[in-house]
Amino acid sequence: MEPKEYRQRVKRLEPPRPIARNALWAFVVGGVICLIGQVVQSGLMAVGYNQETVKAPTSIIMVFLGALATALGIYDRIAKFGGMGANLPITGFSNAVVAPAMEFKQEGPIMGTGARIFQIAGPVIAYGLLTAFVVGLVRFVIMGGKP
């Protein structure tokens, strides 16, 4: 059989991903995490933070919760069915930093944990910063830095 023909057959026989089920779970898990985020944010505003100052402490608390669930070995289980519902929220970003930090502990604190800590989150930060730079540059050139 020709390789091309075989590849088409593999595609045909491949068990389909459970798209509807995955989407539903992503919605539920992602929704619940965002709901927790809203509870944290509203709670902080109730104790005196305003619309601007609340952002950083909300992030910190959500990152902490993600890190805790990762360290306890729960977060990867949530993601098994939650998929993007667990990956996309900031708790997923936290997991992407904490998981390699724990993983590469065996290779030492410098070249293990230290060097690999951004293995997964690094691309997100790098391309996020790059995009922000380009967006900012365009606005700077067009509007001269006016907000």
Partner 1 sequence: MKVQTAPSPTGQRGHLRLDATIASSATVVGPFEAQGPLGPLFDRVVQDDLCGEKSYERAELCLLRGAVELLLDRSEVSATDVDLLIGGDLLDQITTTNFAGRDLGVPLLGVYSACATTSESLLLGALAVTSKAASTVVCATASHHLSAERQYRFPLELAVQRAPTAQWTATGGAAFLLGRNDEGLARIVAATVGTVQDYGLKDPNNMGAAMAPAAADTILRHFRARGQASRDYDLILTGDLARAGLPLLEELLGEEGERPAHRLQDAGVLLYDPSQDVHAGGSGAACSALVLASLVLPRLRRGELRRVLLVATGSLHSPRSYQQGETIPTVAHAVELEAIV
Partner 2 sequence: MSYLLAFLVGGALCLLAQLVMDVTKATAAEILVGSVMLGAIAAGFGLYEPFAKFAGAGATIPLPGFGFSLVSGLIKELPKEGWVALFSGAFKATGAGIKAALIFGVIASFATRARA
- Residue 39 and residue 55: Cα distance in Å, rounded? 13
Stretch 92-131 residues interacting with partner 2 (CB under 8 A):
92-94, 96-105, 109, 113-114, 117, 120-121, 123-125, 127-129, 131
x-or-dash string of contact with partner 1, 108-127, rule CB under 8 A:
-----------xx-------
* Residue whose C-alpha is closest to residue 113's, from 121, 105, 123, 122: 105
Verify binding: residue 53, partner 2, rule CB under 8 A: no
To the nearest whole angstrom, how small is the minimum distance from the Cβ of residue 13 to partner 2? Answer: 16
First and final C-alpha spacing in the chain: 62
Verify binding: residue 23, partner 2, rule CB under 8 A: yes
Stretch 61-80 residues interacting with partner 2 (CB under 8 A):
62-64, 66-68, 70-73
Verify binding: residue 76, partner 1, rule CB under 8 A: yes
| Burial of 50 (C-beta count, 10 Å sphere; 0-12/13-18/19+) | exposed
Verify binding: residue 12, partner 2, rule CB under 8 A: no
At 118, give phi and psi (nearest 5°): -100, 15
